[in-house]
Amino acid sequence: MDLTGKNVTLHDMSLRDGMHAKRHQLSLEQMVAISTGLDDAGIPLIEVTHGDGLGGSSLNYGFPAHTDEEYLNAVIPKMKNAKVSALLLPGIGTVDHLKMARDCGVNTIRVATHCTEADVSEQHIGMAAKMDMDTVGFLMMAHMVSAEKILEQAKLMESYGANCIYCTDSAGYMLPDEVSEKIGLLRSELNPNTELGFHGHHNMGMAIANSLAAVDAGANRIDGSVAGLGAGAGNTPLEVFVAVLDRMHANHGVDLYKIMDVAEDLVVPLMDQPIRVDRDALTLGYAGVYSSFLLFAQRAEAKYGIQARDILVELGRRGTVGGQEDMIEDLALTMAKEKGLI
Amino acid sequence: MSKKLKAVIIGPGNIGTDLLMKMQRSEWVEPVWMVGIDPESEGLKRAKEMGMKISSTGIDGMLDQVIKDDIRVAFDATSAYVHAENSRKLNELGVIMVDLTPAAIGPFCVPPVNLKKHASQLEMNVNMVTCGGQATIPMVAAVSQVQAVEYGEIVATVSSRSIGPGTRQNIDEFTRTTAGAVEAVGGADKGKAIIIVNPAEPPLMMRDTVHCLTKEKPDQAAITTSVHNMVREVQKYVPGYKLVNGPIFDGNKVSVFMEVEGLGDFLPKYAGNLDIMTAAGLRTAEMFAEEAYNGTITLPERG
């Protein structure tokens, strides 16, 4: 694979996807320390919101330590070069949240839908594009359908005004060939000016390999997370990816030692549990289940005595999609009843 | 006089057709007119075959028949954009409007919670909130009728096949309207609504999760009884309304997990979200009919 001279825009997820791993409890001080460290290291784009995006604050996904507005207002004024993005899932957040984020100084809005439901994003993508924001369409759980279906849905988002489309491996299920095929088809069929991005999870140990495959196939934005802080086994670990891109002579604009230090000195110490491919995270990848289900399934195991792994496999069998966290307790209760545990 | 109220259904799509099929079994409401805007539409043809009078030029095509045919109740299953005009024109002629669109110009109506009140006051326009609202607000109310609810949150998961382009283009309207009704009808101080669209095949049954935070420690026995009673109330018009798990108590959090299976009239059984709207709309009109028959309300005078 030759990535020599390719330009890669790295997008940090530790303060958004990482919120899943922190049960949305990062403090304002932690957010500011990590984001300023990333800014100083040269990371151009940093996502800041509740793990489930703007408006994610809920009993279903968890109440955060602070509101999205508080986090954004704490981080954005401290940025020297980095821009800040916010995620929005239609059905959870609304255009009111989007306008709030814009007023806080958010540069990039990423509107996320399940990979077959792009048409619920029209009002949000349209509004963000109308406000001249960097507008990204983010197709989640992209492993569940064919490359042709992803293209069809990407074209919808493009038609609503998205200037960048993401193929998102929310379950950490994909292997590099699948990434190449999907990104490759998007690259050949979408408007040449439309940027492409890839968002990986490390549940099958493939995050770095998949991200490289994505760049090779034509993606220029790659999501990662410093020290991998993210849902499931975490996102593509940014400091590792930077080192790999260095070795491959791709252009990324990030200082390797500085980002290593952010990972080691700031992020690893605040982890509540090691972010690694444990058996439950591996099950997410293997069964194709949304990564943020991990801690919910582990809590259900502790409460109802049903193995997290069994819950996750059943959730995969039922075709659950992102956001269906409420199914986890419901299913654990049903399984516990069947086993006579409650 | 017949005890049945004669009805016009506006909008011959999925909702309007399902409503028509349910209404044909009703003891209290008799479908007479189906109104559309496309003479070639499948829905109008179907309604005609089912013995309905049809207008293919909107309600303007039948307004002059309202008095002659003694039409007393209208169901609007079109869109928020045209609802206000439909409602104004029909209300003027003394027709009660049941609004199945998101327009919500009249008060929210969730039958087991506040229908009796609307009927006794002869509200001339009631709004049926949203499918997620119909499925979940009875549960929020079941808790708030026992003790104060600080926060109510509902998560509605519906099959991709069961939600149409209108809902998709304005999904914010669903979350806002539902959250508003969790407060106004459910009785929560603050409401939050989430909708998830799932494309699994075969399509999944509508699922709903309701979480409430009570102000004081929850009275588990009283809330459990109240929830079971409320489930039975909803089952009177939606037999497939089922409590799957709960109520579960965790500190001040009360959670119930529901499933809604439709009757499978025109819409498939998995589309419990659409079924609960049509069933609630019909139940609403039936209550007005019962009250009028019992003489507790007097329908607008006609010459």
Q: Are residues B136 and B265 in the same domain?
A: yes
Q: How many CA atoms lie within 13 A of A187 on its CB side?
A: 18
B294 lies within 8 A of chain A by CB? no
**Tell me, what CATH number does B47's domain have?**
3.40.50.720
Question: Considering its fold, how many domains does chain B have in total?
Answer: 2
Q: Are residues B164 and B263 in the same domain?
A: yes
Which residue in chain B has the smallest CA separation from A116? Answer: B199
Contact B136, B153 (CB under 8 A): no
Mean pLDDT estimate for chain B = 95
Instruction: Note the pLDDT of residue A342.
Output: 85
- pLDDT tens for each residue of chain B, 303 residues long: 578 999 999 999 999 999 999 999 999 999 999 999 999 999 999 999 999 999 999 999 999 999 999 999 999 999 888 999 999 999 999 999 999 998 889 999 999 999 999 999 999 999 999 999 999 999 999 999 999 999 999 999 999 999 888 889 889 999 999 999 999 999 999 999 999 999 999 999 999 999 999 999 999 999 999 999 999 999 999 999 999 999 999 999 999 999 999 999 998 999 999 999 999 999 999 999 999 999 999 999 886
pTM of the model: 0.95
Quickly count: other Cβ atoms within 10 Å of residue A327's Cβ: 26
In chain A, which residues have their Cβ closer than 8 Å to the Cβ of B160? 116-117
Distances (CA, A) of A98 to A49, A93, A125, B18: 12, 8, 10, 37
pLDDT one-digit tens code per residue, A87-146: 999 999 999 999 999 999 999 999 999 999 999 999 999 999 999 999 999 999 999 999
Q: Which two tokens stand for residue B132?
A: 């997620």
Domain assignment present for B300? no
In chain B, which residues have their Cβ closer than 8 Å to the Cβ of A334? 244-245
Q: What class is the A292-338 domain? A: mainly alpha
CATH 3.20.20.70 assigned to A9-270 = yes
pLDDT one-digit tens code per residue, B211-231: 999 999 999 999 999 999 999
Domain assignment present for B17? yes
B252 lies within 8 A of chain A by CB? no
The parent domain of residue B35 ranges over 5-128+278-294
Contact A168, A140 (CB under 8 A): yes
Distances (CA, A) of A179 to A7, A187, A218, B19, B26: 18, 12, 11, 46, 55
Q: Are residues B17 and B85 in the same domain?
A: yes
In chain B, which residues have their Cβ closer than 8 Å to the Cβ of A90? 171-172
Query: Please, what is the angle between helix A308-317 and helix A293-304, to 10°?
Result: 130
Instruction: Note the pLDDT of residue A103.
Output: 98
Task: State how far Cα A63 lies from the chain centre.
Answer: 19
Q: Do A116 and B169 touch (CB under 8 A)?
A: no
Q: Do B196 and A321 touch (CB under 8 A)?
A: yes
A159 lies within 8 A of chain B by CB? no
Active site residue B131: yes
Contact B20, B64 (CB under 8 A): no
Mutation target vs A (from B139, B197, B256; most A CBs, 10 A cutoff): B197
Q: In what helix (H) or strand (E) does residue B196 lie, and over which residues does it extend?
A: strand B188-198
**Residue (of A78, A82, A76, A162) closest to A119 by Cα position:** A162
Domain assignment present for B226? yes
Q: How many CA atoms lie within 13 A of B249 on its CB side?
A: 14
Q: Are residues B116 and B167 in the same domain?
A: no
